[in-house]
Amino acid sequence: MSTSTQPEKHKFQAEVQQLLDIVINSLYTDREIFVRELVSNASDALEKLRHIQLTEKEVFDDRLPMEINITTDDTAKTITIQDFGIGMTRDELVENLGTIAHSGSKAFLQALRESGGKGESLIGQFGVGFYSAFMVAKRVRVFTRSWTKDESGWCWTSEGAGSYQIEPAEGQRRGSKIIVELKDDCGEFSGADHIRGILRRYSSFVQFPINLNGEKVNTVQALWLRNKNEIKDEEYTEFYKFAANAFDEPRYRLHFSADAPIAINSLLFVPNDNPERLGFGRVDPGVALYCRKILIDNHPKALLPEWLRFLKGVVDSEDLPLNISRESMQDSALVQKLNRLLTKRFLKFLEKEAEKRPDGYAEFFTHFGFFIKEGAATDFTHREQLTNLLRFESNLTEKGNLTSLKDYVSRAKEGQEEIYYLSGRSRESIESGPYLEAFKARNLEVFYLYEPVDEFVMNNLHEFEGRKFASADQSDLKLDDSPPPATGEALAEDETRDLCRWMRDVLGDRVAEISPGKRLVNSPALVLNADKMMTPTMRRMMKAMNQDFDDQAKVNLEVNPRHSLIRKVASLRKSNEKLARLATEQIFDNAMISAGLLEDPRRIVDRVYELLEAATEHAGTTTAGKPGTRDAEGKT
């Protein structure tokens, strides 16, 4: 640079100095944002030049490439960002960099609209974004040369401390070159690797080439803006791996655009595996928010509902009203519209997949069903769609095969007012227990719930298509009068009442009520929840959250008066009450185990030994003295 006159010294407009203080101290949450802002400004300048080239016959330095060049110098502790865009005159330097928010973008957009053009690719307000450089700079120099042929080059210099100076600069190419001399504690921004990471995070999809020390950085295209009919599967997979920082291939993808109620372009992916299911903890929102290809937020929490946090991809909107730093959105109502639009489209996509490719959807639900369940229980806006997407196994499906609530209702008996379900750790544990017997005998379908969240979902949904959800182990559940097949001759009613009273005395406060069971077929007894809200699964969850939680379950016990064991206990209590008591306590604990309510089975071990000993003694007593039996000495 050579100068022929003394530099012109200027003071910043009062508002600019106030803005600088805010920018440097509190406006941006991360200092690296200045790289994004300066690159965005360079992109704006190139876009403006492209428009001018279409309308003007002469443009200075017309053969310069439409690109952004960034150079780092870790010895001099500088970073230089250069574009061959529209450039600035001396007056534009004063207007754009000396007064607040006068980059010319607003005036340019207005002129563009009046001329019938489109300015969707323009972003930002140069004045404000430019000032972010002072977060890291002890001095900033701007070398610039306007596109008009008769203009000359200029250098703008400031330390951000209230004033700036402008002086001529000969030999300048068209466009702007910003040299940021870094503060002592900001030396990391002169490192190429550090800047490369920032560029890939924020500016990967800028439409013009970005070269860092001569190497092109933005090599991935903004696929969401292209026609999906022109994109190959391999390109989608490559983009997914880049956007999600993933190594697998996506399970699903949804590429769509919308103009109303808000203009967006979106590309969403479902990963192949669910990291939360694999034990990696709760994942952060994975759909990044862009505005005209510039990253606004990599993990926007309000963009999608919490239960869609497993999605990866990009949403780009031209209509977002951004705050002055581009780091957040001011219009919450507009954000909610965007949230609803994206959610509705994704749920519609899942509905089509479930209908057209049910096997593929079932596999998706096996991996990601937890999120659908979470949404069904908590998202009132989309609850109906989410409920239709729920899938479970049932006693009428093969192991591993899932069925929907609509399919359940289509198979339900005429007049059936409930949708029945049973919770258990596995299909085997549910089917080996006593609760399914009455439903199988009556040919009633029962959903199998394996995960703790499932009962939470049922309790929050309450009903589906007019049928209430009902747990098959509820004590007040009413089944029809069709009797289940008998396993043997039943005790008389008075004998059954006497036995229930006696068993109640034996078990004491451990049971709320003992009665003959109408739903038992092949099992001797079962326990039912006296408190239907405190199910076994809910009890385990409460205990996990609070170690002092009182897990003494208050249950009702139902006994099967047709079962041979119950009939024998009724007889045995008259001839060997000790053995009958031990058998009663063991029957109760077995029923508690089947219900998943016995947390500590150690007490059973000692009783089993007592039971064996008493049974052995009883057997010896009943055989002693009978013809053909021998005593310990072998005598008849």
Question: Which alpha helices (DSSP H) does 295-331 contain, by range?
Answer: none
Band (412; pLDDT cuts 50, 70, 90): very high
Band (530; pLDDT cuts 50, 70, 90): low
Pull the structure tokens for residue 118: 């489109």
Going by their DSSP bridges, the two strands 264-270 and 312-317 should be labelled as antiparallel
Chosen domain end from 179, 197, 216: 216
CATH code of the domain in which 433 resides: 3.40.50.11260
Q: Is 228 helix (H, G, I), strand (E, B) or coil?
A: helix
Q: Answer yes or no: is 1 within a domain.
A: no
| Backbone conformation region of residue 625, classed left if phi is above 0, alpha if psi is from -120 to 50, else beta | left
Strand order in the sheet with 252-258: 252-258, 264-270, 312-317, 286-291, 294-297
Pull the structure tokens for residue 237: 């997979």
Q: Are residues 285 and 321 in the same domain?
A: yes
Band (331; pLDDT cuts 50, 70, 90): low
Query: For position 554, what pLDDT does the model report?
Result: 72
> Is the pLDDT confidence value at 184 over 80?
yes
Q: Answer yes or no: is 386 within a domain.
A: yes
Query: What's the distance, Cα to Cα, between the start and end of the chain in Å?
Result: 127
Q: Is 500 helix (H, G, I), strand (E, B) or coil?
A: helix
Strand partners, 456: none
- Mean pLDDT, range 229-247, rounded to an integer: 92
Q: Are residues 204 and 249 in the same domain?
A: no
Q: Answer yes or no: is 480 within a domain.
A: no
CATH code of the domain in which 151 resides: 3.30.565.10
Please give the Cα distance from 321 to 324 (Å, whole number). 10
Q: Are residues 384 and 441 in the same domain?
A: yes
Could you identify the residue written with the tokens 């003007």? 56
Q: Are residues 35 and 163 in the same domain?
A: yes
- Mean pLDDT, range 380-402, rounded to an integer: 96
Q: Which of 407-421, 457-471, 540-554, 608-622 has the lowest mean pLDDT?
A: 540-554
Distances (CA, A) of 239 to 205, 293, 342: 11, 14, 20
Q: Answer yes or no: is 241 within a domain.
A: yes
Q: Are residues 289 and 254 in the same domain?
A: yes
Q: Are residues 51 and 168 in the same domain?
A: yes
- Provide the 8-state DSSP code for 576: -
Cβ-based neighbours of 355, under 8 Å, separated by 6 or more: none
476: how many CB neighbours lie within 10 A of its CB?
Answer: 10
Q: Answer yes or no: is 632 within a domain.
A: no
Ranked by mean pLDDT, the top range of 258-262, 438-442, 543-547 is 438-442
CATH code of the domain in which 606 resides: 1.20.120.790
Query: For position 117, what pLDDT does the model report?
Result: 44
Chosen domain end from 438, 471, 504: 471
Chosen domain end from 184, 216, 248: 216
| Cβ proximity of 289 and 303 under 8 Å | yes
> Is the pLDDT confidence value at 90 over 60?
yes
| Cβ proximity of 48 and 174 under 8 Å | no
Ranked by mean pLDDT, the top range of 83-97, 393-407, 435-449, 482-496 is 393-407
Cis peptide before 261 (omega within 30 of 0): yes
Please give the Cα distance from 459 to 468 (Å, whole number). 10
pLDDT tens-digit readout, 567-620: 999 998 888 888 899 999 999 988 888 887 776 777 787 778 777 877 787 666
| Cβ proximity of 286 and 114 under 8 Å | no
Q: Answer yes or no: is 630 within a domain.
A: no
Q: Answer yes or no: is 483 within a domain.
A: no
Domain enclosing residue 270, as ranges: 223-356
Question: Which alpha helices (DSSP H) does 134-228 contain, by range?
Answer: 192-202
Please give the Cα distance from 34 to 99 (Å, whole number). 19
pLDDT tens-digit readout, 242-298: 999 888 899 999 999 998 778 899 999 999 998 888 776 888 899 998 888 888 888
Could you identify the residue written with the tokens 């581009």? 326
Domain total in the chain: 4
Could you identify the residue written with the tokens 């920082």? 245
Q: Answer yes or no: is 310 within a domain.
A: yes
Q: Are residues 246 and 187 in the same domain?
A: no
- Mean pLDDT, range 438-456, rounded to an integer: 92
Q: Are residues 38 and 136 in the same domain?
A: yes
Using alpha carbons, select from 260, 264, 267, 272 the residue that is nearest to residue 228: 267
Query: For position 521, what pLDDT does the model report?
Result: 84
Q: Are residues 306 and 174 in the same domain?
A: no
Beta strands in 186-332 (DSSP E): 210-212, 215-216, 252-258, 264-270, 286-291, 294-297, 312-317
Please give the Cα distance from 558 to 513 (Å, whole number). 8
Q: Are residues 431 and 467 in the same domain?
A: yes
Using alpha carbons, select from 290, 387, 382, 399 the residue that is nearest to residue 344: 382
Q: Are residues 540 and 408 in the same domain?
A: no
CATH code of the domain in which 286 resides: 3.30.230.80
Q: Are residues 371 and 351 in the same domain?
A: no
